[in-house]
Structure 1
Amino acid sequence: MRLPRFLLAGILLYVALFALTALFTTPVGAIAAILFWPLWYAIATVNAAVGVFAAGYKVSEEATVMLPVFGIPALIAGFGWFASAQWWNDGPLVHSGRTAIVLGAGVVLWLAIRVLAGLLTPKPGGTAAIVFMPLWLLFCVGNLVVGVVVAGYSVGEEIPILLLNFAVPAAVSVVALRF
């Protein structure tokens, strides 16, 4: 059944967005949810279109399935917003241990993309790597820019961090192609 995998992908995607947002700004939950909802709605709509046009399901059937596919992860994102505002004073903004969170968020983001690629494309491993690598490189370069401009590190200090932050999740995606 596809529904549990879509729910897993949605939750993984939201967790990655929440963790990455916690590295840069507050209110963490609000920004993560506001980024997540339209992205997840677009993905849920593509899933519905694939169901109608490729799998031959009726529009009414796909509309019924779209409610939990979009709604459950959207509710979790809403809860993340509420929890962040109520329990963490719009945080938790991460000040130390950032590299471990970046690496973890990168792997979780890759997992979300891999699960979605498995549901929406005929060659999921390659598609996931093709989508993930440039997206993750863009994030890592943005992280470098923030480190230089906001935190005051030199480019020379940030380059090794960029390489580490990019290499570990990218290596996971490449190694996963072999299995």
Structure 2
Amino acid sequence: MRTLSFLLAGLLILAAFVLLARLFSANYPAAMTWATTIFVTLWFGIAAFNMWIGIDQAGYSFGEELPIFLLIFGVPAALSAFLRWKVL
């Protein structure tokens, strides 16, 4: 359930960044590039912090947490790259 919550949070944060980039793109053409870069950096930090909590507090090993980290980070990051490349 926690993984699903993090995935949903990542997608909602991505939606906010895309919305802001669309609002600023009329005056600042590179807004989507900046939004994608900032989102991926921010989301990597959040996902890494979640992984650290899983290792430190929950007692999982690095090998057990790595696939969850890749899922939590990878899905929103890949979607942001796809949106930057194809849609926007």
TM-score, structure 1 length as denominator?
0.45
Q: Could you list the runs of 4 or more consecutive aligned residues of structure 1 that deviate by over 4 angstroms after TM superposition?
A: none
Q: Provide the residue aligned with 2:21 in structure 1.
A: 21
Q: How do 1:121-132 and structure 2 match up within 5 A?
A: none
The answer for unaligned runs of 5 or more in structure 1 is 85-179
Matches within 5 A, 1:159-170: none
Could you tell me how far apart the structure 2 residues matched to 1:46 and 1:2 are? Answer: 14
How does 1:65-84 map onto structure 2 within 5 Å? 65-82=68-85, 83-84=87-88
Gaps of 5+ in 2: none
Structure 1 counterpart of 2:18, one-letter code: F
Name the residue aligned to 1:59: 62
Q: Give the equivalent residue in structure 2 for 1:40.
A: 43
How far apart in 1 are the matches of 2:71 and 2:32? 21
Taking the aligned partners of 1:56 and 1:66, their CA distance within structure 2 comes to 15
Instruction: Map 1:133-148 to 2 at 5 A.
Output: none
Count of residues in Structure 1 that have an aligned counterpart in Structure 2: 84
Distance in structure 2 (CA, Å) of the matches to 1:8 and 1:26 = 28
8 Å CA contact retained: 1:28, 1:81:
no
CA deviations 1:60-105 (Å, max 9, x no partner) are: 1111211111000001100110111xxxxxxxxxxxxxxxxxxxxx
Letter in 2 for 1:21: A
TM value normalised by structure 2:
0.87
Structure 2 match to 1:5: 5
1:27 CA drift (Å): 3.2
- Which has the bigger relative contact order, CA under 8 A and spacing at least 6? 2
Deviation at 1:29, TM superposition (A): 3.0
**Could you give the per-residue CA deviations for residues 6-54 of structure 1, whole angstroms, max 9, x where no partner exists?**
1110010011011112222223432221110110000000000000001
**8 Å contact from structure 1 (residues 48, 62) kept in 2:** yes
